[in-house]
Structure 1
Amino acid sequence: MNLTQSKIFRGDRVIWIVLLLLSLLSLLIVYSSTGALAYRQASGNTMHFLVRQIFFLGAGLGLMLVMVNFLSVKIYSILANLLVYLSIGLLLISAAMQFAGMASGSGRTLDIGFISFQPAELAKISLIMFSAKVLGKKQQSKEELKKAFLIVISHTVVICGLIFLSNFSTAALLFATILTMLFVGRVPLKYLAIVIGVGVGIVVATYFLADQFPSAPTRMHTVKGRIDRFINGDPNAEKGITQADYAKLAIYEGGILGKGPGNSDVSNYMAAAYNDFIFAIIVEEYGLIAGVGVMFLYLIFFFRAVVIVRRATRTFPAFLVTGLTMLLVFQAMINIGVSTGVLPVTGQPLPWVSLGGTSLLFTSVAFGCILSVSYQNQVNREIQKPPVQVALPDEDYEINK
């Protein structure tokens, strides 16, 4: 980047490059994987979803630039409490609408007229901000760490519990992220072990009680069904090829070098080729080499985030970057794991690559926070640099000469 660009794209340059490369990949793969969707929802206009993706990626990049150039990292700490309770309120409204039969689809999306979004997306970022704020303030003693643990875990249980009603995978993803933050925040392992044990117990209880109570919430039966399909195989595969089978077929047909841009056949038969299984389409068109390259980009992002955390001079920014980075990396690994058949089928998109709307904007907020901390680190280093020592003339030398 030249001098003018560096004044605009502030923060870690490597992360900016990773984002631009993922943006280019997103446009290429979304255009080729939404052909069938365009005929179903856009009267055959194959450019419709490409233009939509360009708009949201552009809006997301613009939002990141605003955050890095005009917003202080302190603002995120100030807003953390407000956002976390706003998220709880929105999740409660969404849950109430779902139980009242007023929610559309799976009940994950809240339509407020001029915009529709998933409250879980806001909840993920706000809970991480809130947890970073609490952990940052309570690091002086074991008693403070215990208080921090109780505050964070109580809010986590409420938010993840509400998200669980409509989206188990997102609830589990956020729960794992918060546990990672607590571990990095030096919370005693015995507390984390108790929480993990309770979490595993809830999943086991959900699995075995789902059949005992047919009138139990639909999400319990969904969780049990996904576990059964992952362990015993999908019974629908005996009747026809499932989405997971199509994903494996796409990876197999892609081979090492792929079939070429826009030459995917499998995407025409997959309901979520542009979202949950987009990694499989990437491998089908661009080969295993490209698939490894995508994973490498997320690993580069992870290691650059580690550098940002190590350079942070305050605890809140360090915990904030830790949480948001783990959230994005975990989500990417889940999407890749589902596409390759390593993990049970879930509904997690590939960050900054999958087709998205407001979800892309929330992802851009996460990246924007990380870049803001990176830029703040750069400013702090400039302030802490010792003054330049100017060499003065050697008067004795001039006289002797």
Structure 2
Amino acid sequence: MRKLLSQFQGDKAIWAYVVLLALFSFMPVFSASTNLVHVVGTGTIVGLLFKHFGHIFVGIVIIFFIHRIPFDRLKFIAPIAWIPVTALLVITSLQGMMIGGANASRWLKIPLLNISFQPSSLGWIALIAYISWFLWRFADEKYTFGWSLLWLGVPIGAIVLPILPSNLSTAAIILFTIALLLYVGKYPIKYMAKIIAAGAIVIVVAIGMFKAFPDMAPSRYKTWEARFDRFGSEDKDEDRYQIDNAKIAIAQGQMFGVGPGKSVQKNFLPQSSSDFIYAIIVEEFGFLGGISILIVYVLLLFRFLVVSRKAPNLFGKYLAFGLGFSIIFQAFINMGVAVEIFPTTGQPLPLVSSGGTSIWMTCVSLGIILSISRKEEQVKQQQADRERKQEEFRQLLEEQEASFEEDSEDNPMRAVLNK
């Protein structure tokens, strides 16, 4: 058993928190599964639980294999990884899938494997890897605004623009994460200010144009506008079905909750096993359960920052920060939507919400972060080995010197020389 556990290297605290969240996820997913089975009529409870178990198991396997790969190898992939991912995003966006008259082209199906996944999650990781490579590669070079805008703008635009029409929240989170990563990477503030100002102008002009010419607006523009209008509104005429049921669930939880599997609002709350799973957690486990989940994510954030600070090079530092922050920010968005801190979005709760793509892409990020921490441990071990060998060599020299002095004192010639 000890030999098996020794294969799971890297930051042990991160491993512990990941396993804790994965095990805990079965309780709210089980509770939400009863809603999907009895109300929606999707599969069976046992089948849905085994499906979630399969997603979690594959996710742990992904973490294990990726964390055994030296993260430095990503230096050779990061500059170009965004190119094939962009192709996948473009293919996905051209599918033209519509739900309720709105663009829903988020999923790409692989016919041979009979599975579907969201390329936007892969684009998220590829873009963070590219920005981390850029900040490491040109850390000691001075560059102009136009030159840096070309190097950064093309990959960012190639990833974000295909995502934007069907998934505004994911595009916004990616842009926010990239902006924070650039700030941490000491990208010139004056350059960032120009980009933010230009972006704000484009957004204002676009909104004005869409209001003046509704036919030119993206198919999901009305959805985005309605969600922002509902956010924080007390108008009873507004369609607040999702957020109102989430708040009812949270209110019913009180301090200790109604008990595992005893949620009532799961029967009324859409996406109770994914987007609004935090509301179900608070209803069943109360304020203490909700705050406990929040604390686990905060502790994970702390460990990600520790790994980033101790990374053996700048590439690892920025990579650990970007990937780690994106996981925690996604968790905060999910929890914030349930308590109406943020407008309604479609972001899952990492490692807790059901869904293969969200779990697996989170596990890819975790595997890379653990690979960085594993490299850090290897560097420490090598340093400790060098220090141990130096200490052994020093002790050997001292023993030889002491032995030489003893031999000299016993030598008769030494007494003659002293006279």
TM-score if structure 2 supplies the norm length? 0.87
**1:92, CA displacement in angstroms?**
1.1
1:206-221 to 2 correspondences below 5 Å: 206-215=206-215, 216-221=217-222
* Contact 1:279–1:291 (Cα < 8 Å) also in 2: yes
Query: For the structure 1 residues 3 and 187, does the alpha-carbon distance in structure 2 shift closer, same or farther, using more than 3 Å as the test?
Result: same
**1:316, CA displacement in angstroms?**
1.2
Counterpart position of 2:50: 51
1:200-239 to 2 correspondences below 5 Å: 200-215=200-215, 216-233=217-234, 237=238
Query: For the structure 1 residues 59 and 225, does the alpha-carbon distance in structure 2 shift closer, same or farther, using more than 3 Å as the test?
Result: same
* Contact 1:91–1:120 (Cα < 8 Å) also in 2: yes
Segment of structure 1 superposing worse, 142-151 or 377-386: 142-151
What amino acid does structure 2 have at the position aligned with 1:209? Answer: M
- Write out per-residue CA displacement over residues 89-130 of structure 1, whole angstroms, 9 at most, x where no aligned residue: 1111122222899x9971111123122111101110111111
Counterpart position of 1:135: 135
CA distance in 1 between counterparts of 2:175 and 2:212 reads 27
* Contact 1:229–1:235 (Cα < 8 Å) also in 2: no
Across the aligned residues of Structure 1 and Structure 2, the Cα RMSD in angstroms comes to 2.5
TM-score if structure 1 supplies the norm length? 0.91
1:47-126 to 2 correspondences below 5 Å: 47-69=46-68, 71-98=69-96, 106-113=104-111, 114=113, 115-126=115-126
Matched, 1:245 2:250: no
**Which structure 1 residue ranges, 5 or more long, are not aligned?**
none
SS state of the match for residue 111, structure 1? strand
* Contact 2:107–2:116 (Cα < 8 Å) also in 1: yes
CA distance in 1 between counterparts of 2:192 and 2:144 reads 16
1:320-339 to 2 correspondences below 5 Å: 320-339=319-338
CA distance in 2 between counterparts of 1:234 and 1:111 reads 40
CA distance in 2 between counterparts of 1:278 and 1:198 reads 37
SS state of the match for residue 129, structure 2? helix
CA distance in 2 between counterparts of 1:43 and 1:116 reads 18
Counterpart position of 2:416: none
SS state of the match for residue 143, structure 1? coil
* Contact 1:68–1:368 (Cα < 8 Å) also in 2: yes
* Contact 1:138–1:144 (Cα < 8 Å) also in 2: no
SS state of the match for residue 94, structure 2? helix
**1:14, CA displacement in angstroms?**
0.3
What amino acid does structure 2 have at the position aligned with 1:197? Answer: A
Segment of structure 1 superposing worse, 386-395 or 59-68: 386-395
Counterpart position of 2:20: 21
What amino acid does structure 1 have at the position aligned with 2:220? Answer: R
Segment of structure 1 superposing worse, 255-264 or 107-116: 107-116
Query: For the structure 1 residues 25 and 80, does the alpha-carbon distance in structure 2 shift closer, same or farther, using more than 3 Å as the test?
Result: same
SS state of the match for residue 211, structure 1? helix
Query: For the structure 1 residues 42 and 104, does the alpha-carbon distance in structure 2 shift closer, same or farther, using more than 3 Å as the test?
Result: farther
- Write out per-residue CA displacement over residues 144-197 of structure 1, whole angstroms, 9 at most, x where no aligned residue: 787445412332123112110110000000001111111011111111122222
1:368-383 to 2 correspondences below 5 Å: 368-383=367-382
CA distance in 2 between counterparts of 1:160 and 1:381 reads 39
What amino acid does structure 2 have at the position aligned with 1:198? Answer: A
Query: For the structure 1 residues 145 and 314, does the alpha-carbon distance in structure 2 shift closer, same or farther, using more than 3 Å as the test?
Result: farther
Segment of structure 1 superposing worse, 375-384 or 10-19: 375-384
CA distance in 2 between counterparts of 1:54 and 1:31 reads 11
- Write out per-residue CA displacement over residues 58-116 of structure 1, whole angstroms, 9 at most, x where no aligned residue: 100011111122x1212322222342101111111122222899x99711111231221
* Contact 1:351–1:363 (Cα < 8 Å) also in 2: yes
**1:209, CA displacement in angstroms?**
3.4
- Write out per-residue CA displacement over residues 9-63 of structure 1, whole angstroms, 9 at most, x where no aligned residue: 1110000010011001111110111212123566662122211111010100011
Counterpart position of 2:11: 12
* Contact 2:75–2:133 (Cα < 8 Å) also in 1: yes
What amino acid does structure 1 have at the position aligned with 2:307? Answer: I
What amino acid does structure 1 have at the position aligned with 2:77? Answer: L
Counterpart position of 1:359: 358
Query: For the structure 1 residues 317 and 144, does the alpha-carbon distance in structure 2 shift closer, same or farther, using more than 3 Å as the test?
Result: farther
Segment of structure 1 superposing worse, 356-365 or 166-175: 356-365
**1:131, CA displacement in angstroms?**
1.2
CA distance in 1 between counterparts of 2:271 and 2:117 reads 19
* Contact 1:94–1:107 (Cα < 8 Å) also in 2: yes
Query: For the structure 1 residues 279 and 138, does the alpha-carbon distance in structure 2 shift closer, same or farther, using more than 3 Å as the test?
Result: same
SS state of the match for residue 212, structure 2? coil
* Contact 2:145–2:191 (Cα < 8 Å) also in 1: no
SS state of the match for residue 214, structure 2? coil
CA distance in 1 between counterparts of 2:204 and 2:271 reads 28
Matched, 1:177 2:177: yes
**1:242, CA displacement in angstroms?**
0.6
Query: For the structure 1 residues 44 and 85, does the alpha-carbon distance in structure 2 shift closer, same or farther, using more than 3 Å as the test?
Result: closer
